[in-house]
């Protein structure tokens, strides 16, 4: 016999919405095949002259546009393309040269501290391991991944806001945070596309699969997209 109703309202458990399911391997291969056909040799849009200036440029690019960073670093890299030259400039001059970039005071301080560490611990060379790169002032996992990929040819997946958005919208590697997406991309993307994958995703997110107004009408993978953000049938 059921107990009498006490008058208390019983809480109804609500199911959490199911996490998006990643695409199958064939669909992911098709997406990257189209990206490769459209841009066989995609390039990053930060200007640099060597591994050191690439590292500095990526450090400066946090919460800033590549266009804005390139304007600031043109003169900076003309004056200093090695850790020794950058250190000789000093924090005040570096800060003055990059003052148009967001968080420029902190970034200038990190650039100088980074140079000191490169000289003292790495013989002025940019280290080639993620662990060593992340030990440098101002360098996080994303920056390390970019440098490893561009400067040293490693297959890494640097997840910025564009990569995060595209990986989730296209269900290539759905994830709630950047590390989940990065690890998902490592598993999902065939090795033949790995070298350029993060560039394809960044460029697609920057110019087509934009946050507020995605240009779905010109998207080369629109027929494969089932995102709620899709703007065409």
The single residue of 8, 43, 109, 160 carrying the catalytic annotation is 160
Give the C-alpha separation, 233 to 223, whole Å: 9
Q: Which residue, 115, 99, 118, is CA-closest to 60?
A: 99
Tokens of 152: 């040293």
Q: Is residue 184 classed exposed, middle or buried when 0-12, 13-18 and 19+ CB atoms within 10 A define those classes?
A: buried
Q: Which residue, 96, 99, 76, is CA-closest to 86?
A: 76
**Active-site annotation holds for 142:** yes
What is the SS3 string spanning 120-141?
HHHCCCCCCCHHHHHCCCCCCH
Within 13 Å of residue 221, how many CA atoms lie on the same side as its CB? Answer: 28
The single residue of 66, 107, 142, 230 carrying the catalytic annotation is 142
Task: Output the DSSP codes for 8-43.
Answer: PPPPPP-PPPPPPPPPPHHHHHHHHHHHHHH-SS--
Q: Where are the alpha helices (DSSP H) in 123-196?
A: 130-134, 141-152, 161-169, 178-188, 191-194
* CA angle, 76 then 163 then 34, to 5°: 110
- Residues assigned a catalytic role: 142, 160
């Amino acid at each position: 016999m059921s107990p009498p109703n006490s008058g208390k309202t019983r809480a109804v458990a609500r199911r959490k919405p199911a996490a998006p399911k990643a695409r199958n391997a064939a669909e992911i291969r098709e997406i990257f095949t189209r990206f490769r056909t459209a841009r066989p040799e995609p390039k990053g849009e930060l200007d640099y002259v060597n591994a050191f200036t690439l590292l500095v440029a990526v450090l400066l690019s946090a919460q800033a546009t590549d266009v804005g960073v390139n304007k600031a670093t043109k003169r900076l890299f003309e004056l200093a393309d090695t850790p020794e030259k950058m250190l000789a400039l000093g924090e005040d001059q570096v800060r003055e040269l990059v003052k148009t970039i967001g968080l420029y005071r902190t970034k200038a301080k990190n650039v100088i501290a980074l140079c000191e560490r490169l000289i003292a611990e790495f013989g002025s060379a940019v280290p080639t391991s993620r662990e060593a790169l992340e030990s440098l002032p101002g360098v996080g996992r994303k920056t390390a991944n970019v440098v490893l990929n561009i400067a040293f040819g490693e297959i890494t997946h640097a997840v910025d806001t564009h990569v995060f958005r595209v990986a989730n919208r296209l269900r290539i590697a759905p994830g709630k945070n950047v590390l989940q997406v990065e690890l998902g991309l490592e598993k999902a993307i065939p090795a033949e596309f790995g070298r350029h994958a993060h560039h394809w995703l960044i460029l697609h997110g920057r110019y087509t699969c934009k946050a507020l107004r995605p240009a779905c009408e010109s998207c080369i993978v629109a027929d494969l997209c089932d995102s709620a953000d899709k703007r065409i049938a």
